[in-house]
A = this chain, B = another copy of it.
Amino acid sequence: MKKIKIGVIGAGRIGKVHVATLMQSVPEADVIALSDINIISARELAQKFGIKTVTTDYQEIIQHPDVEAVVICSPTDTHTQYIIEAARAGKHIFCEKPVDLSLDLIKKAINAVFKAGVKFMVGFNRRFDPNFLKIKTMVEEGKIGKPHVLKITSRDPAPPPAEYSAVSGGMFLDMTIHDFDMARYIVGSEVVEVFTKAAVLVDPEIGKAGDVDTAIITLTFANGAIGVIDNSRKAVYGYDQRLEIFGSEGMINADNNYPETHRYYSKKGVTKSLPLNFFMERYTQSYVNEMITFCNLLRDKIQSVVSCDDGLKSVAIALAAKKSYLENRPVKLSEIKY
């Protein structure tokens, strides 16, 4: 079997996940080049998995003659530039979410991808989580009939550092963006209006940095369905990732995942463990499925998945959500120009 040669840009938290996944769980993939401005991180990761080319210069990855596809795990503000350069170099592209905070830049990147005719996938890993995959399949099979109400609960165990809020674009663009993508994916229809009620309840520092930490976001879909996302930056009991879809013929919901199944009965009550804490544990399988899917895309086994359009739409909804919060009124997606 000839392996797919992949170059990875970024050896940070998510870069490490993708490298390990590709090398351990995707037999047809081979990471042959890795870059990070922090050469120590890059070398450490490269050594662990026997990656030959290690560099601080992302262009070495993009221009590497053997690299067929690049996996972009660098900070958000570098994404569109790397996409454009990789597309011009004829490389297929996997890019972490969000593609960018600017719709204009995303459009430029998309244009470059279309022009070059390379394959492109955005890293909305949660689509590949077994719980949500199952629900998506059942919705498509008509198990709930016509969708009426979508509900997503998405809470983090703890807020990121306040300085991160600034560069990340804030909660809607950094955290809720996953939920916006999930909403479109599960309902199978576009969001046409957003109303956001948000607050700073977890930490005043987040408010000082111009961000919020708690929100309830109402979505209206083109097919008539309505939906709601509730977010918090801090659930003391850990990572809370649940989803429910209700329709004319039934309802499906997905609970959290737990490290084990025990129940403990004592004088004080019946107790079980807390949910798996944070995305590395909770979404492990989704990262594997995501990279397998990316390789299937590269191998023409599937035609399209998590497209440019998905990357664009999720950011547009996030911007509408932010605008709705700031102006305290429902915002139509048609107001977000791009």
**A residues engaging B (CB < 8 A)?**
24-25, 27, 48, 130-131, 133-135, 138, 143, 145-146, 148-149, 151, 153, 155, 193, 195, 197-199, 201-202, 214-216, 218, 220, 224-228, 230, 232, 234-237, 240, 246, 248-257, 259-274, 328-330
Are the CB atoms of B235 and A227 closer together than 8 Å?
Answer: no
Given known A-B contacts A272-B269, A330-B328, A252 and B260 have beta carbons under 8 A apart: no
Are the CB atoms of B155 and A246 closer together than 8 Å?
Answer: yes
How far apart are the CA atoms of A263 and B155 in the complex, in Å? Answer: 17
Given known A-B contacts A218-B197, A236-B249, A254 and B262 have beta carbons under 8 A apart: yes
| Closest B residue to A236 using CB positions | B267
Are the CB atoms of A267 and B253 closer together than 8 Å?
Answer: no
Chain B residues closer than 8 Å to A143, beta-carbon distance: 264, 266
Q: How far is the CB of A292 from chain B (nearest CB, A)?
A: 15
How many copies, total? 4
Chain B residues closer than 8 Å to A199, beta-carbon distance: 148, 224, 226
Given known A-B contacts A195-B218, A274-B269, A274-B270, A253 and B263 have beta carbons under 8 A apart: yes
Q: Which of A193, A225, A262 has the most CB of B within 10 A?
A: A262
Given known A-B contacts A232-B148, A251-B235, A269 and B273 have beta carbons under 8 A apart: yes
Given contact pairs A149-B232, A270-B272, enumerate 17 new A-B contacts (beta carbons under 8 Å): A131-B261, A143-B266, A145-B236, A148-B214, A149-B216, A149-B230, A155-B246, A198-B226, A215-B226, A216-B228, A235-B246, A235-B265, A236-B248, A249-B267, A270-B271, A270-B274, A328-B330
Q: How far is the CB of A141 from chain B (nearest CB, A)?
A: 11
How far apart are the CA atoms of A226 and B251 in the complex, in Å? Answer: 25
Q: Which listed residue (B135, B235, B251) contacts A237, Cβ 8 A?
A: B251
Are the CB atoms of B266 and A261 closer together than 8 Å?
Answer: no
Chain B residues closer than 8 Å to A263, beta-carbon distance: 252-255
Are the CB atoms of B250 and A260 closer together than 8 Å?
Answer: no
Q: Which listed residue (B133, B214, B262) contacts A149, Cβ 8 A?
A: B214
| Closest B residue to A213 using CB positions | B148
Chain B residues closer than 8 Å to A151, beta-carbon distance: 153, 230
Q: How far is the CB of A260 from chain B (nearest CB, A)?
A: 4
Are the CB atoms of B230 and A250 closer together than 8 Å?
Answer: no
Are the CB atoms of A266 and B250 closer together than 8 Å?
Answer: yes
4 tightest Cβ-Cβ pairs between the two chains A and B = A237-B265, A250-B266, A255-B261, A251-B265
Are the CB atoms of B261 and A246 closer together than 8 Å?
Answer: no
How far apart are the CA atoms of A195 and B215 in the complex, in Å? Answer: 14
Q: How far is the CB of A312 from chain B (nearest CB, A)?
A: 24
Are the CB atoms of A262 and B269 closer together than 8 Å?
Answer: no
| Closest B residue to A274 using CB positions | B269
Chain B residues closer than 8 Å to A225, beta-carbon distance: 201
Q: How far is the CB of A112 from chain B (nearest CB, A)?
A: 36
Chain B residues closer than 8 Å to A328, beta-carbon distance: 330
| Closest B residue to A266 using CB positions | B250
How far apart are the CA atoms of A270 and B238 in the complex, in Å? Answer: 11
Q: How far is the CB of A294 from chain B (nearest CB, A)?
A: 19
| Closest B residue to A143 using CB positions | B264
| Closest B residue to A273 using CB positions | B269
